[in-house]
Structure 1
Amino acid sequence: MPDHSPPHDWEESSHELGQRLLHRREALGLSQERLASLAGISRNQIYNIEKSHNSPSMDTLWSIAAVLEISASELINDLGRS
């Protein structure tokens, strides 16, 4: 039977995703409130993703990436593999 276990540490990946989002948001000069408003989600969701308290849905990830002017794959590529 094939091994379907995750290939990397999901907690670490969540932290890395939060850091990528935070750095890109700050590079664009966006507050959590402004990013959330433009992405159509709550500021609390942005906070929780940046602090790795939870992981975004794919819809949320795509919305955030669009506002950050990058692809969703740029946010998640190679997470947990550094």
Structure 2
Amino acid sequence: MTERRVARDYERAAQMLGLKVRAAREARGLSQDELASRTGISRNQVQNIEHSRNNARDATTGRPGPGNARLDTIFILAEVLGVEVAYLVDPSRPVTPPGT
């Protein structure tokens, strides 16, 4: 697998994670602030995950880097959102949260 393909696959997985966190959060009627409060994750981090970005800037473009949620953060989000970790991290699974 080439480095470029790995980067594309990673960016796709990060995008899908963000879409799924947002979909599950909205399906449970939670605001970003409420999710942040229940998880102990900052609202800014919730926003970054949902928008697949991080606070690091690309040296060439100046744009935020792709999302890079830590594994423990993903487990906490899954527990609070009532979804399986696999739903959040498997980019081949549909965005619609299970059970909705």
- TM-score w.r.t. the length of structure 2 is 0.69
Could you list the per-position Cα deviations for residues 3-51 of structure 1 after superposition, in whole angstroms to 9, with x for gaps in the alignment?
5853962112111110011111000000001111111110000000000
Q: How many aligned residue pairs are there? A: 79
Instruction: State the partner residue of 2:16.
Output: 16
Question: What's the CA shift for 1:71?
Answer: 1.5
- TM-score w.r.t. the length of structure 1 is 0.83
Given the alignment of the two structures, is residue 75 of structure 1 paired with residue 92 of structure 2, yes or no? no
Question: What's the CA shift for 1:75?
Answer: 0.8
Given the alignment of the two structures, is residue 37 of structure 1 paired with residue 50 of structure 2, yes or no? no
Percent identity reads 39
Unmatched runs of 5 consecutive residues or more in structure 2: 54-66, 95-100
Unmatched runs of 5 consecutive residues or more in structure 1: none
Could you list the per-position Cα deviations for residues 57-79 of structure 1 after superposition, in whole angstroms to 9, with x for gaps in the alignment?
011101111110112111112x1
Whether the 8 Å CA contact 1:19–1:50 is kept in 2: the answer is yes
CA distance in 1, matches of 2:9, 2:86: 18
- Which has more strand, going by share of residues? 2
Question: What's the CA shift for 1:55?
Answer: 1.8
CA-atom RMSD in angstroms: 2.3
CA distance in 1, matches of 2:74, 2:23: 15
Question: Cα gap change, 1:25/1:71 in structure 2, threshold over 3 Å: closer, same or farther?
Answer: same
